[in-house]
Amino acid sequence: MITDVASKIVRADAIEILDASPDRVGSPCAWARPGGCGGCDFQHVERSAQLVLKAQVVRDALARHAGLPGIDVQVEALDDDGSGLHWRTRVRWTVNSDGRPGLLAYRTHDVVPVDECLLASPGIVQLGIPLTRRPGVTEVSTIEGDEGRVSVVLDGRLTSGKQRTDQRVRGRDWRVDVASFWQVHPRAADTLVSAVLEAGRPAPGEHWWDLYSGVGLFSAFLAEEVGVTGVVHAVESGPSAVRDARRSLHDLGQVTLHHDNALRWLRAADERPDGVVLDPPRAGAGRDVVQAIAGAGPRVVVYVACDPVALARDVALFASAGYRLAGLRAFDTFPMTHHVETVAALVPITLAHPIS
Ligand SMILES: C[S@@+](CC[C@H](N)C(=O)[O-])C[C@H]1O[C@@H](n2cnc3c(N)ncnc32)[C@H](O)[C@@H]1O
pLDDT along the chain (356 residues), means of 10: 88 90 96 90 96 98 96 94 96 96 92 95 97 96 95 97 97 98 98 98 98 98 98 98 98 98 97 98 98 98 98 98 98 97 96 50
Closest residue by CA, ligand 1 atom 5: 214
- CB hemisphere CA count around 93 (13 angstroms): 33
Per-residue pLDDT at 354: 46
The three-state DSSP-derived secondary structure of 119-167 is CECHHHHHCCHHHCCCCCCCEEEEEECCCCCEEEEECCEEEECCCEEEE
111-112 and 231-236: which strand pairing?
unpaired
Reduced to 3 states (helix: H, G, I; strand: E, B; else coil), residue 240 is helix
pLDDT of residue 306: 97
- Which three-class secondary structure state does DSSP give residue 95? strand
Any atom of ligand 1 within 6 Å of the Cβ of 199: no
Q: Measured in Å, how far apart are the chain's first and last C-alpha atoms?
A: 48
CA 182 to ligand 1 centroid distance, Å: 10
274, 207 contact by CB (below 8 A): yes
| 218 pocket-lining for ligand 1 (C-beta < 6 Å) | yes
- The residue whose CA has the least distance to atom 12 of ligand 1 is 212
Domains of the chain listed by start with CATH number: 90-169 (no CATH), 183-348 (3.40.50.150)
Is the distance from CB of 150 to CB of 143 less than 8 angstroms? yes
CA of 262 to the centre of ligand 1 (A): 9
Mode of pairing for the β-strands spanning 323-331 and 341-348 = antiparallel
List active site positions: 306
pTM of the model: 0.95
With a 6 A CB cut-off, is 29 part of the ligand 1 pocket?
A: no
Q: What pLDDT score does 341 carry?
A: 98
Task: Answer whether 248's CB lies under 8 Å from 172's CB.
Answer: yes
